Structure 1
Amino acid sequence: MVATLSIVEGTQPSRLLESAGTQEEKAAALANHTATLQRSLDALRAAWQGGAADAAIATADADLANQRALHAKLINYASALRYGGVNLDPLRSQILAMATQARALGGFVADDGTVTGHDTLSVMSPALATAYTTSLKTMLSWFTRIDDTVAESLRTGDAVPQTPAPTPRWDEDALYDGDPKGSDVNQDGIGDCYLVATMSAIANADPQWIRDRISYDPHTGMFDVTLWDGHEWRHIPVTQADIDANIAAKGASGVDGATPELTNPNAPLWPAVLESAYARMKAPGQGIEGIESGLTPPALEALTGNNGDWIIPATEWMTPSQHIDSRIAEALAGNQPVMLSTSVLTGGVSGLSAQHVYPVEAIAGTGSDATVTLRNPWGPDDGPPLITARLGDLIGTNPLGGIGLGPTGMINIGRLGA
């Protein structure tokens, strides 16, 4: 019988660790007692000879054999109990957290782990419900398998089978393909270009900064993401269910694509992990759909601890000392992220979309004729991933059109390590 949510909720796997400790103490005491008896028996053999001695020694040997067998069973009991506690306790927490999250998103969660949309206003779409159902049922089957293994070992006194704990679908190996890269980001179904472009720019500037944000606990199958909440660095947990929900909603990773042909199940997972953590911090209970629309400075602050420097090209005619070309060049040379946000104007720049955010990956040349390379966070799903444009066309340098009144609404330059 596969465990249900109510069964899992009623268990207390942490108590297994307490019992394991008790069994280990008994085994240690028995081992000391057996060692004392063995020393006494060895002394008896050396000092006493004859038929009576042989009979007494045989009886003592049998008693010692029984005590060693009992010691082995106590060790096996302790091992089984510890195996159960170490694996079932975090699994229980994850199952219950997953069910709670599904309900918070408007889903109805049956006792067997089946999730369905609760009403017409629910965020829980059919695809999202399927992802949650798959994760919950898989976790419940893992819980059942581990529980059965522990119960069998306690029944027989045999050693617990040395099989590895169930492997979560998403783990540390799924995070990266080499160093994190700006091209790992692939925005699909969520309108959070301000965030994913910032993630892409940071990965392009300093891949280690991305690695330092994320850690993984193999015992719980959970990711831990460190983000700045405006006051302090916070550790944001990201569950397997969060990742499944992110993929179902077509979030920031290439694991999901706009079409099956553009889907890559082996694409780096870190964009989905960061995006999920940001949503947990900024829009708890709403999923990644709750973080659509925004500006780069808050995203930059969450990922780096500060919101960087801002350049508003529309004011260039008043403040020509902004030196936009050199500031972009210096930032990129100093391994700092640079994001360019477009306004409602596209200015006829080929491939550029209005009210969109692009990581700036390179700049060549100086002044208005400098060539800027932008990466589209949409990735290969919509148009070329890289766009090159003249800086003057991006910021608007044509006096007849209004100096600074071009496609670029803002340029946000990060300050990693500041």
Structure 2
Amino acid sequence: MTTWRCSQDAILSTVCVFFIAGLPVGSTVASDGISLTLSTPKDRSDHCGYLTCNHSSQADVTFFNELKIYNIANNGSMIASLSQGNHYVSTEGGFDLKRKYLRNSQASLQLSITKPENCLFGLYLCVVDFIDEHGSKQTNTAVAGAEDRGNVSCRNDRVVLKAEKSILDSLARFQKRLQKNDKLLQEKMDRGLNKTTSLIETKMEEINTKYGHFSQAFKDLNLLEDRNKEWTLAFRGTPFIDKAVYEAYLDGTGIPFDVEIGCKVINSSLPCYNHYRNSSILDHWKNIKEVKLAIYQNNVQVHYIIFNGQGSNYLNWFSQRRVLSSSWTDIKWKTTNYFSIEGLASHGRRFYINHVFSGCHLDIGWFSAFDLNRYRCPYHTSASYPLMKYAKGSEADVWNGPNIGVADFFAIFVK
């Protein structure tokens, strides 16, 4: 049985180069005993391997909630899950249920892999949700890359890829150190960071040319940023987590060091319980051409605004005079009494775009992230905050009316 770790001995696991949720991808390291392993079957029958996720806790009072396995190389699709009284295995993914087991503090799910490409090129993520001994909800993750079984035809190519992966691994570690220290040596670190990122992008292009099936995982998960060609995620605001979105955007207040991968990836079913802040962008706001505010419901973008980012800073880009285009047809010309990130601070209305005040029942606007409800208007009363609401139609609408939607999250992109 092979347990995958990020090291120079990791074979055919290009995704080891980057870091997901603060852990080296490919490691089987997570708090409280989670592991994800790939193994070769002894019988060599109708499947090429086993994929096993195990989770255990030393605390008897730990309560297991749900275990999920995702195929990162296939657009992050979920292939199996296990919860109290239920289990699921995708019928289209080339996986069969081999074994399942769970009790309060332990869970195990083993799948037979029936498609050779999933054995050779699969990249897998296991996510376990549980309640710890203190009654708090926790999430553990582990990631595994495909195993070299000795039956891939191009042995020389494997050796070359292994060497190139080692180079990328070193560059990525250097890049991460630069990102941590650039506040102290901003100009010097920026030059080093840009140069290192350029080297990684160049090397990834070379690998993509030779081994496109490996580097596709990076594109699917937006782990390799290209600020010149594509939108790059700068911030994600998550509702109902009782952490203020405004302070999180300003300086990262309330955001843990290790943020779930689901907070960094858009259009994904991966879990997210925090805001996400890309400090390398927001703390060093420069050469920004455009900024995009996107609002999501059921992982689908329902509204957007694109702003002119040239000559802006990370706070003043959010203004009506900078709007270039929007799915709201009236937002460029209709008068506003609030259009700013700070918003109406006394009422807890952040990222606030409002047309007019006419009393709680007749206020009209487009979007707001409500961090709290000091004014007690019914339309932003909630059991938990932030509450994110938007006008569902093509124009501003009455906040207290039926055409106001509740967003799953909002995101800010730059390029």
Q: TM (normalized to structure 1)?
A: 0.27
More helix by share: 1
Q: TM (normalized to structure 2)?
A: 0.27
Q: Choose 1 or 2 for highest CA Rg.
A: 1
More strand by share: 2
